[in-house]
Structures are given as structure tokens and as C-alpha cells.
Chains A and B, each alone.
Chain A
Amino acid sequence: MVPKDLKYSKSHEWVKAVGNNTMMIGITDYAQEELGDIVFVELPKVEQQLKQQESFGVAESVKAVSDLFSPVSGMVVAVNEALGKQPELVNKEPYTNGWMIKISLAAPAELSGLLSAEDYEKLINEGSK
């Protein structure tokens, strides 16, 4: 499942515009499927500055730990507190209630370097071959 209206990173995060300059970020359905049951998500503090590709936390499943990378640079303006008690939301609703952080964009031009849904789909199809 790769929604058409989102942008994607090669490290399997999605980006969605939710305000003028604000982006919502989470991990893709493919990523949650690969990780399996997520039992813990560590997220940054609000107001933390992130550079593009910088790790902003980890998602941990029974099987493995995976770093989360910010697809864009900017300041964290919100984190999904619900994941503290219900990390499984990332598995169940990766594109909606399983969102992770909201970022106020520092360099809007970075968006054009992200993958389209089509390109991301190609990436994961190649990866699973």
C-alpha cells in the first residue's frame, strides 16, 4: 500500500503536507511490515532541529531495531504521543494514526528530491525481488 498523495524517502519514511510549511512524517506500510510487531517507538522532543537524513528516533519490534531518518530538515513541532502506549498503531495505520512527527520545513526545496509514490513502489518491488 503506497498512497499516491505522499512523498517518500529511500529509507522508507513518508512525508505529507499538513499545513503551509508543516510536514507530517511516518514510516511506510512496507517498512512496518518488514519490522513486524512494533513494541516501542522513541521520538524526539518538540523544538528539536533535524537535518535531512538525520536519525530522529527508533522503532523497535520483537525482532529488530530500526533507526528513523528525517526525510527533510526542520524543527520538530509535534510528536505522536499516542505511540508511547500504543506503538502498534504504526503497524495498524502507518499512514494515519501511526504518524510519528510533524516538522516545520527549513528547506522546502528538499521536497523535490523525495520519491513519488510511483518511484517508491518501484524501489520496494526491486528490494523484494
Chain B
Amino acid sequence: MKQTKLYKWHQQHQARLIEFGGWLMPVQYSSIIDEYWAVRKKAGLFDIGHMGEITVIGDEAENFLQHTMTNDVSVMAPGECLYSLMCYDHGGIVDDLFINKISQHNYLLVVNAANTEKDYQYLIEQKGDYDVMLNDISESTSLFSLQGPDARNIMVKLAGPEIASLNYLHFAKGQIAGSPVTISRTGYTGELGYEIVYFGQPEPEQETEKIWQSIIDQGVIPCGLGARDILRLEMKYSLYGNDVDQDTNPLKAGLGWAVKMEKDDFIGKASLEQVKKDGLSRKLAGLVMQSRQIARHGFAIFSQDGKAVGKVTSGTFSPTLAKSIALGYVRSAEAVPGNILDIEIRGKKYPATVVKTPFIPSHVRD
């Protein structure tokens, strides 16, 4: 199993480690709920070094990305980040990812850990005559995520006052603990937050730990994937493999905003146009339960008259709402806010109300 450059640090700090996407990652250090509250109320730091980084460099980088991505790369200015899907011809999702535009001919893709190799191979297959060079630099690259309302003040102390003016979905070069880093206003929690990339030159392990420790020394607590999953789910951020995969299309998943049909052409466009024409039979709905049992991946969802209408894709307990929340694909006619459905948990049905998402307000632009 793969390990990030902070593996030793995690071990020394009593992290509980689990397998995730082929990596041995901290699921929690102290308590998932305590770590959750740290991010919602103060700040928390995640090692997300498992995520993949692929560079796309060359004269035709923009054209190549316009062809392979569903979102419109042509509107990006250098220093901007854009969320996009990458689809197959049949409209299914290869991955969901962030595109960072470094310059006109130089882009960095940040992709899901478990999909890194698949994405890289897929991009290579699509390269054809495009004048681009693709490089999977995941091995040498470290990535952390500092999230929470205190994140800005902490980053200003560590990286300097100019970071305060960095807007959401923008990135800039900077320095932390003497090391060159790239800092972006992005995250997977719904809070004000930053993701910090260290490209591993020089001294990948030592420097990575030094940067990480310098953030921790600001009184930030380390957080694991357990808290991260609750935080992202409250925002209805999709998790590849749970909520979206090669068999789901972006429209069904409620990610149509990241699919720009007015673009000339991109892989999957024809299929997605057809989906749009036919109408969606199912949609990803947000569900809030009155009770505290967790509706887990795969649990069946029923209409009030007892018909099976879908399945849960992700579920957790929302500490903010003090109720269980879930996402699930349900028949479009049932995916209407206010509609009451039943989720079967251990042989019994419990009511769940369809709600507008995110489940709680987002603070990413604070």
C-alpha cells in the first residue's frame, strides 16, 4: 500500500490508519466528531497527499483540455482553478477533478487518488496529435488542506499578508517554512480554506514534514478522512466511487453546472445531449432523516406507497444538524424537496425528507 510523505508523522501522532484508494491514510487522530468541529469552528489540517497530480504542458494544452474536460477551460485566466468532470464517450464519469491554469500552455490537474493511474492512461489515449506533454507527478508531490474559518489568519502568518487577498478558486505561489509552495483557495469541506501543494524539490520528506508541522504549530489540529467525509457530504460534494462513477453521468449527479454544452465538442457531449433530450429518470437527492441511524451506501430507498425508488450512495451523521443525512439516486418524480421517502435500515423503514442541498450553508467564499 502507498504511503504519503507524512506517514511517519501520522504514526507518531497516534493516527488510526485505513486503506483508501490504494493508500494508507489517517481516518482519525483524536475523534472524527472533534476533528469535524475543529474545521467548522476553527481550523483543521488534512494530509491529502494521496491525491494525484498530472501536468498538461504544451502549445495545445488548452485545446486538449477543452476536448477531454466537460467544463469550459477557455474562460480560465492564469492563477484560476476550475472544477470539471472528465467523461467517457457514453457520458459516464472517468473522474471529477480540479484544473489549475498556471499559464497559457501549462496546467495542473488534481485528481482522485484511486483514479490517478486510470486518468493518466485515459488522457494518454486521448492525446493523439495534440501538441501536449502529460506527466504524472503524484509520486513527488505533497498536498495538504487547511480548512476552517481561522484558515485565512493562519495562512497570513505563515505565507505573508498578500495571501489575504487570494479569492476562492484562485491560486498563487508562496513560501511556507522556507519552502516554495503553491497555495489555492479550494477545499472539500465547504469552509474557507486553502490547499497547499509542495512539488517535492528539494528534500520531499523533510520539507513536507516541516511545512506540515509549521501549520500544526499554529494550533491547528490534524484531521483525518473520517471528518473529511462528513464535511464534504454536508456540502453534497460527490465522492468518486460512492456517488459518481463510470456508470453515472454528470447530469444525473446534479453536476450539470460543470458541463458546458455550448462548447464545440468534448468527449461525452453527444451522449449527454441525448440524456438531456430524454430527460433524467433518476437524480441524486439530498435526504435528511428524523433519526440518528446512519443510512449507508447501498441501503434501499422507498416511496411512501412502498415502491423501491432508489439507493443510498453516501450517508453519515451530520453533527451540525444532529440528524442523519444521505445522498441517493431516486426517481426524478420523487426527488422533490419536501417529499418524504423511507430508507430501510436493518430491516426497518425510517422516514427521510428530500431537501435542497447543500445540507448546511457553504462558507467557501467568506
| Residue B294 at the chain A interface, CB threshold 8 Å | yes
Shortest Cβ-Cβ A-B pairs, 3 listed: A39-B317, A40-B292, A37-B33
State which of B31, B226, B293 has its C-beta within 8 Å of the C-beta of A60. B293
Contact of A63 among B27, B34, B292, B324 (CB under 8 A): B27
Please indicate the chain A residues that have their CB under 8 angstroms from the CB of B31 in the complex: 36-37, 91
Binding site for A on B (CB under 8 A): 27-28, 31-34, 226, 229-230, 291-294, 316-317, 324, 346
Additional A-B contact list (14), CB under 8 Å, known A37-B33, A39-B292: A36-B28, A36-B226, A37-B31, A39-B33, A39-B317, A40-B291, A40-B293, A58-B346, A60-B292, A62-B32, A62-B226, A62-B317, A87-B292, A91-B31
**Contacts A36-B226, A40-B292, A87-B292 given; does A63 touch B32 at CB 8 Å:** yes
The interface of chain A, by Cβ under 8 A from chain B, is: 36-37, 39-40, 42, 58, 60, 62-63, 65, 87-88, 91
A-B contact count (CB 8 A): 40
Best-buried of B28, B31, B292, B316 by chain A (most CB within 10 Å): B292
* A60 & B28 in contact (Cβ 8 Å cutoff): no
How far is the CB of A67 from the nearest CB of chain B, in Å?
10
A36 touches B346 (CB 8 A): no
Q: Bound complex: CA of A45 vs CA of B317, how far in Å? A: 24
Complex Cα distance, B317 from A63, in Å, reads 10
Q: Quick one: closest A residue to B33, CB to CB?
A: A37
Q: Which residues of chain B have C-beta atoms less than 8 A from A63's C-beta?
A: 27, 32, 226
Residues of B with C-beta under 8 A to A62: 32-33, 226, 229-230, 294, 316-317
15 contacts between A and B (CB under 8 A): A36-B28, A36-B226, A39-B292, A39-B294, A39-B324, A42-B293, A60-B292, A62-B33, A62-B226, A62-B229, A62-B294, A63-B32, A63-B226, A65-B294, A91-B31
B residues in contact with A39, CB < 8 Å: 33, 292, 294, 317, 324
For residue B226, which residue of chain A has the nearest CB? A62
Q: State the Cβ distance, B34 to closest chain A Cβ, in Å.
A: 8
Given the complex of chains A and B, what is the CA–CA distance between A40 and B34 in angstroms?
16
State in angstroms the CA–CA spacing of A119 and B303 once bound together: 50
